[in-house]
Structure 1
């Protein structure tokens, strides 16, 4: 390698940390609004200043390099302050799905070893359903909230989030250092903490810029939650391209077109279920008055593509990425095939294999395996789960657990999940974790949770339950028990009380038989019954 090439490589490598990306964006961005959130319009320089000030606050609370800071909130400016403040201090942010409850939330806090938790007031009552045992938490901050902060158990000492103070210089960090631990729903066990290095977010941004053809003139609008990599990648792609980001609090089907017009968006972000929901809403004159030319929308069924483009004038970009990987597969909108995820990106390798990891012929279904060519462009493993890390990355390939096939032109097509996971409305649900909540009810003897087909093109959660002898329990009572103990989106839609479950000779439940049966005539449907899910934790009763 020539000296000039080596110098260029070293220079590029130093930019592959979150503080370096933010600093360069702050220098290049000038007075242009970089982020619109919570009613605020911030330049990149102002966002950098807030990160530097939050780092001082965190340091005063005893947080240092490598320490984990858990964050439990929705899309709001304090989430950015904490995420970027942790990166500035070379600490590790642990953004948690705001809907996490019960055993899942306890497991995340315990496994991460977080010493500090910053949470919104409306999720504080969820802490009363988890035990303090096994947690390293020393400090609990409540984020600013209008109205009174709900009372929770005296076991928890709550302090208000301290105000931002004087800025400090960033602590040196490397692209290989862990920036965040993001918990992805477990498949055959509890949720796993994915260790995401700084460089992984650089490469998320890099590939997003190329696939979506982003420039400094773009306005990127997302309503997806910022505790997921999809929305996080939006922020880092803006840092690298100079685009602006609008982060909405939540998705609204009725307000979708209006929000695009109001914020002068040029690119937006959707999930497969969102597209079907939008197509089911009545047409509106503003559906074509916006400037959006494309949307990143993974998982959209092929038959929805043209209908969506015809109505909204937006081209849909599919792709493949996961918390463990990156934007591995994807094509520009003009180069994609509806129904296909796209082709493998430069910098990655992908193949389809059989159960023994032998590559299969094009057109043959198998498991998708991924391998990076750039250092630290994917996850470095699962936190404190060495055996699971080795198993997932066996034979030097990451095993995605997704069944796909590749055509003779190199386009990949998603078929289903090999692992025991359920995907509903863009959220990954662990059947194991739902089962653990069901089994904790004294009237439940056995429970099997699995996916059934949804009218929105994704999954619905179904549970087949065997009650204890003599138990008197209604479907509504069982779901009332579930609600404060799990994320609202994980609460089963269909519940079936049965006398027994199909089993193998060694006693394992044969879930494939349950999936094949699908929604049976004796299944109770909470939506048809008018049962309401409570999404606001303040309304949960202990």
Structure 2
């Protein structure tokens, strides 16, 4: 019996909620360590107690089932205390990207209707500054402040680090009840609050643990932020598999391997941008001193897989999921094909479709549509945005906005976000494919390709590039490198070398900022330079 089937049999459909998972696993694994953050270390039994204790704390603060609690803080134990406390009493956690500012942050706090905010000193300053800006004070009743005096703001209270002896009874939550509202990046408009139910996180944990091949006693280590699906999912993998999750404050290339060794980690998590960064560091005899056997590594360019595994001695597992969906596409390590995301997982359906939702043949690019056969394995919609929910779930399929191609064997390859597709001279250009060529140059560390408008009112191809430390590369040399590797119409017209690219806390390049920045006086223009492409 495979692990996914075991999870489904161990937890009947009505038991796929956080309170049920905590109670069942505390009985099974009592004193085994479950969660580590800094100096804090909880066993499975202590995690259950934390949920009960902070459920009571939230209730004393006036929070009830369905109320929203915003979290604007870094990776720390208090984040999980509040998340588990919310889950226990049926309240809803609203984790917020710590880089959120201005109108985006105001929108999230207003749209979610959060009554309580838990934040650190930096977050408090940002929120209080927003109170003074256009739109007036934020609709927050209470702010719990970590690591800083509360000042004179009447809403502020010290974080209740000592919860007391009272313990809350669990609310009668169901798998379809919302556990968390996770806000999208809002690159094309207002951020959308994705309503993620308890059942969705159950299936996230089940599918990811199965593909990673987790065993009882594994030590999972993440440097990714807890406000993101990836790291929250890691907690459920550990909870459901009898493993330990170690949460570090943030990713540091210089400290990454030492941290894995110190905690005796066996599994870790990286994103696409992290792999070339780690490879760019000088090799040392300690590169294989760790115990890690596998890393969840979505979006890693295929040319890095073999080098990374050979140097560091661990396998990279690719796959596909989104905040609205689940780990819907993937493959076991033995069936991985670098450059592809894998096949559709059991319990999910996928189609590649044209603009009218008609399925296209294998080998033809189109939009990826998804649906789940298990109840509440996907998000239930966008909070307070019914029109956006209907748009995304039209025809009863979730429209991902991702352009993919499926081959005859059922493997899916990511091409682009639809909004990142570039159309030039009547040709469709995949920014992802151009980026892979650029990244294959030994001098290039990071590259982003995006459309900018030309004088002919159509798209032109622009790239922003960060070079490896100590490397040099001229624009003409780059053109000569691209020409034999790309169709002539896909070779970038505009090139700009930058010290770094704008990125989210998760290391995802913010292309919308690059598009808004566009062509600058420092941008090299192939046509203005008189460089003629060979056709």
TM-score grouping bracket, smaller chain normalisation: 0.7 to 0.9
CA 1:77/1:216 → structure 2, altered by over 3 Å: closer, same or farther? same
Separation in 2, partners of 1:248, 1:197: 26
Matched, 1:378 2:378: yes
1:274-423 correspondence runs (5 A)? 274-419=274-419
How big is the alpha-carbon RMSD for the aligned residues of Structure 1 and Structure 2? 3.1
In structure 1, the partner of 2:16 is 16
The aligned residue for residue 118 of structure 1 is 118
Find the counterpart in structure 1 of residue 144 from structure 2. Answer: 141
Please state how far the C-alpha of 1:124 moved relative to its aligned partner. 1.4
Q: CA deviation at 1:32?
A: 1.4
Give the count of matched residue pairs: 445
Q: Secondary structure at the match of 2:41?
A: strand
Q: Distance in 1 between matches of 2:508 and 2:117?
A: 23
Q: Does residue 164 of structure 1 match 2:163?
A: yes
The residue aligned with 1:43 is 43
TM-score (norm 2): 0.78
1:374 Cα deviation from its structure 2 partner = 0.5
Superposed CA offset, 1:241-283 (max 9, x none): 1111111111110111111111111110000000010001111
Q: d(CA) in 2 for partners of 1:9 and 1:191?
A: 37
> Is structure 2 residue 101 aligned with structure 1 residue 101?
yes
Q: For residue 155 of structure 1, report the CA deviation from its aligned partner.
A: 5.9
2:462 & 2:297 partners in 1: Cα distance?
Answer: 22
1:127 Cα deviation after fit: 1.4
Structure 1, unaligned runs of 5 or more? 1-7, 432-447, 458-482, 497-510, 525-542
Query: CA separation in 2, counterparts of 1:302 and 1:491?
Result: 18
In 1, Cα distance between equivalents of 2:53 and 2:298: 36
Q: Equivalent residue of 1:399, what SS?
A: strand
Contact kept, 8 Å, 1:224 with 1:231, in 2: the verdict is yes
- When residues 97 and 111 of structure 1 are mapped into structure 2, their CA distance, relative to the original with a 3 A threshold, is same
Alignment of 1:178 with 2:181, yes or no, is no
Bigger drift between 109-118 and 251-260 goes to: 251-260
What is the SS of the residue equivalent to 1:419?
Answer: helix
Aligned to 2:23, the other structure's residue is in SS state: helix
Q: Secondary structure of 1:69's partner?
A: strand
How far did residue 291 of structure 1 move? 1.0
Return the alpha-carbon distance in structure 2 between the equivalents of residues 34 and 17 of structure 1. 17
SS at match of 1:334: helix
Which deviations, in whole Å up to 9, do the C-alpha atoms of 1:425-472 show, x marking residues without a partner? Answer: xxxx9x9xxxxxxxxxxxxxxxx9x98455499xxxxxxxxxxxxxxx
Between the two structures, name the one with larger relative contact order (CA 8 Å, sep ≥ 6). 1
Q: CA offset at residue 332 of structure 1? A: 1.4
After TM superposition, where is structure 1 displaced by more than 2 Å over at least 4 residues in a row?
8-11, 131-136, 148-151, 154-157, 419-424, 450-457, 486-496, 518-524
Write the deviation string for residues 319-344 of structure 1: whole angstroms up to 9, x where unpaired: 10111001111111111100111111
CA distance in 2: counterparts of 1:381 and 1:387, whole angstroms: 10
* Distance apart, 1:386 and its partner CA: 0.4
TM-score (norm 1): 0.77
In structure 2, distance between residues paired with 1:95 and 1:451: 34
The alpha carbon displacement at 1:46 in A equals: 0.6
How big is the shift at 1:133? Answer: 3.5
